[in-house]
Structure 1
Amino acid sequence: MWEKLKLGIIDRYIIKMYLQTFFYSVLLFTLIAIFIDISEKIDDFIKRKPPLSVLIFDYYIFFIPYFMGLFSSVFIFLSTLFFNSKLAQNTEIIAILNSGLSYGRFLRPYLIGSGLLFVMFIILNTQLLPICDRYRLKFEDDWIHERRVTQNNNIYNMLNDSNMIHMESFNYADSSGFNFNLESFANGKLVERTFANRLLWNRQKQCWTFETYSRRLFVNDREVISKGARMDTILNLKPDEFFVKTNYVSSMTNPELNAYIKKETNKGNPQVNKYKVELYKRTAIPVAFFVLTILAVAVSSGKSRGGVGVHLGVGLIITFTYLLVIQIFNTMGNTGVLPPLIAVWIPSLVFFAIALVMLKRSPK
């Protein structure tokens, strides 16, 4: 049994070249991405003049892992396709199969290589890349974005199971909201409603202040109304919570993101599907490495008259199709058309089915 699991010379060669080609492609495309990013942001850099050390060590050193994680599945597919296509063009695959090795056995070192990258990117996606993203986003806020969002409109929020708020608008500059409503429920019935023309955050007291407010208590089919000019109160909310950007969710590690999703679900945040899509993608993308590796090997195993270029051309079409399918289903998950978990995993299942069909048709 152990002899069957032992890696042979061909296995070690394929794994080595598989990983080598992957990291070379990551390096090449990352350098291209950096040049493109610099060209897009050059006006901001000239205008705000960030120090070179800040630009390198506070931004681009964190931009690299961000870009690598974002397109890791594409790098896997194209690098596998390129390497395997070269084997096919040199008739090495034919020689390997003629030696008595089955096609399934030929696939094994590719899957081992995928497994190594799977483990690496699971750790990166769930723990390390979110931390890197914090620094990247902070740099963009400090040096790139000219304006920050200062107002949020039409806010609905569940503070807990029994308290819900609605506010017409909230201004971050002075931490004030307008036309604020707080509704309290008990056993599914409305028991209290508070309305305030203006809501203010008191930084010294760390509490909220109602201005020109009215309170309605509903007790035993009776309504008790009280009014006032000003009242301090405590709510399970801070001003920053009205302005959490969706892309900042990418800077949360998995435990942080799970806790945040639970909190926002309890509040009734309509953006929670986007957060779930981000969470599930972190596992789904590394799993797709296996699918895309099988597909790349199946597509490029046959010797082509056009050489490696034909396989790369087909590969680019598949790559763009894959990215389009992911974008479509992610949007469906974000908007609630499909449950986020299903929306994230459908592309991998679709391309796994395609990979199996291609595998059966590939020359053996």
Structure 2
Amino acid sequence: MEMAESKNRLVLTTCGTSLLTNGVDQEVRARINQLANHTERDLSAQDKELLDQHIDERSRLLSGTKNLDEIRSLSAELNGLITYFGGDLKPSPGRPDAHILLTSDTYLGRRIGEIIDEWLQSRGFSVQVWSPGGLTTRDREDFRHAMADLVLRCEQTLPGYRESGYRIVFNLTGGFKSIQGFMQTLGMFHADEMFYIFETGSSLITIPRLPVSLETGDLIRKHEQIFRRLGLAEELPLEECRGLPEILLFDDGQKAILSEWGQLVWQRSKWSLYLERLLDPLPGLRYSSNFRKKVRGLNLSPDRLATLNERLDELSLRVRGKRENLKSLDFKQLKGNPKPPSTHECDVWSDDERRLFGHYENETFVIDDIERGLH
């Protein structure tokens, strides 16, 4: 197989239970499959003892095996990685390739993640283990919430690696079928390529990055405030969200939040919205004419404007008591009365001394000004 130039790679690997079930007798395999979706608190003392004994045996077997062909037969995940890396798995010179292991939020998932993490680190790789809360196949709603969290993690993590020169690769050889199916779709937006192997000994199947984009600009702009509030993880009355496609929402018949697909749409679209202009305030905020004039006069770059809009949206949650004070905001009351009518200030940009100043009028927080801090 022709490898992708000399770029460092970040490989996201979906993890299943193959390390515990490959090459074991049918009775042990059946019991592991029965317990695959259990968290630690779900396990009886007897079942946990049985699993721990088996996990420790398999961990010792993996760490004591030097033959890579034997390792490939032990773990579907490592089979995929070893095959993708040309029959061996060694860090490249200089900055090593990095790995993310995506495991289920179960006792077995977390233990398997620990074992593969340790094995990869022993070979010199940088490793993260992701276990989104609720990521099991036992409950459909928990699974979808975990997928929404996974979308957010990918959007917050993977672009930074790509900007640093990494090639993003999804290894979908292991893991549950439901997770693999979702990751194939997510990979169309994030991965430079995806790969998998049907079974040990078969050839590697690769899927290159496809030119996929989400054309949702009109939808986002039509329902701008709803998306901004949902994007902040605010729960809204379902009636307020009626104009959005059902696939973008989780709802209980009364309240709604963004679904995994809603998160994908919002995360892919929000910056193009945030960097256009000073957006109208969300509930709980009002902008003074002086503040609007000051923003126009600053002639902010698109990235600065996007951050300002993001901070203002976060502030709307803070002043309504729906979120704790974020470090990025540092929302606090002014000492004395140095800048009337303003009574509070908060940060905007981490590398700039300018702050937002404002005051409460009943339940509304009025943004009075944006200028350098008072100290």
Please give the TM-score of this superposition, normalised by the length of structure 1. 0.22
Q: Which structure shows the higher helix fraction?
A: 1
Task: Report which structure shows greater RCO (CA 8 Å, sep ≥6).
Answer: 1
- Work out which of the two has the higher radius of gyration on C-alpha atoms and give 1 or 2: 1
Please give the TM-score of this superposition, normalised by the length of structure 2. 0.22
